[in-house]
Amino acid sequence: MHQIEPHVRAVAGVHSPATAVTDFSAICEHLAAELRRAGSAVLLNAEVTNIRQHLGRVQLETTVGQYHFDRLIVCAGLFSDKVAAMVGASPDPRILPFRGEYWTLAPQRQQLVKSMIYPVPDPAFPFLGVHFTKGVYGDVHVGPNAVPALAREGYSWSKISVADTWESLRWPGVAPLVKKYWRTGATEIAASVLKPLYLRAARAYIPSLTMGDLQAKGPAGVRAQAWSKDGSLLDDFAIDSVGPVTLIRNAPSPAATSALAIAEYVTQQYFH
């Protein structure tokens, strides 16, 4: 560990030499280009507003027109429960949005992180906790944390949806969730608004970090966390079928890394 990540303080480390970081937008653009070359259409900025089933076929109503399919696979992330409702699937699990915020490491301190520094996952929690990732362009992100988002697409504290928040508060899983995670939740929220607390979490791994090393809060992501009626947060994939429609209702990290393997699994399990 001292040779590979000399600035890290830890009891022990596991080295994973095959772990890599990538530019995922570039991967998506390549996948879209391959699909188009193979004759498929890729529609962007097209919201699915309703799904009807008729005589074993699926009719998709979107903001850019109607489409008909024999089979449909739904991967709607933060809206996967809303789209599941369109086909009459069970309302359980529903989606609880959790924002993951990052700080960016000051350029002159990027050498503190050689590659990726991750904590050992705690099976009691669905999220890893703050970690360090060196991006493909040399930039280092510190995070993400996990705070409840006040809107499905709540990429900052100021983005609030009363309807989304009210829907979450009315879900039967709210009381058991709060009972189980209130302490962790309060710590995460405090570290989100108070930079010294975020720094303290980061310094657990790299003690030489200072306040000035964490620069401008970087981009944030919102996790689509599936949440059961009994208050549990699902940490495995949740896949349902309603007639010819297959719904991917929970695809937690590392579902981006494993996207092609998941696609293979879904087509084998649900299309034969």
The residues that touch ligand FAD, with contacts defined as CB under 6 A, are: 47-48, 75-79, 83, 100, 144, 221-224, 248, 251-257
* Closer of 177 and 226 to ligand FAD (Cβ): 226
Q: Which is nearer to ligand FAD, 176 or 258 (CB)?
A: 258
* Smallest distance from ligand FAD to CB 47, Å: 4
Q: Least distance in Å: CB of 136 to ligand FAD? A: 13
Which whole-number Å values give the CA distances from 251 to 5, 54, 145, 239, 254, in the listed order? Answer: 31, 28, 19, 9, 8
**Three-class SS state of 156:** coil
Beta carbon nearer to ligand FAD, 244 or 252: 252
Closest residue to ligand FAD using C-beta atoms:
77
Q: Whats the size of the chain, residue-wise? A: 272
CB of 208 to ligand FAD, least distance (A): 25
Residue 93 CB, shortest distance to ligand FAD, in Å, is 13
In this structure, what token pair is assigned to residue 219? 């981009």
Instruction: Between 127 and 171, name the residue whose CB sits nearer to ligand FAD.
Output: 127
What is the Cα–Cα distance from 168 to 150, expressed in whole angstroms? Answer: 9
Residue 251 beta carbon to ligand FAD: minimum distance, rounded to whole angstroms: 4
Rounded to 5°, the CA angle 42-26-41 comes to: 10
Short-list 15, 164, 44, CA closest to 95: 164
Q: How far is the CB of 48 from ligand FAD (least distance, A)?
A: 4
Task: Show the tokens assigned to 43.
Answer: 């529609």
Of 210 and 257, which has the nearer Cβ to ligand FAD?
257
First to last CA, the chain: 47
Beta strands (DSSP E) in 45-199 are: 48-54, 57-62, 65-69, 72-74, 94-105, 116-117, 132-134, 140-142, 147-148
Comparison of 9 and 68: residue with beta carbon closer to ligand FAD:
68
Q: Which is nearer to ligand FAD, 20 or 175 (CB)?
A: 20
Min. distance of Cβ 247 from ligand FAD in angstroms?
10
Report how far residue 101's alpha carbon sits from residue 107's, in angstroms, rounded to the nearest whole number. Answer: 19
Adjacent-strand bridge partners of 245: 72, 242
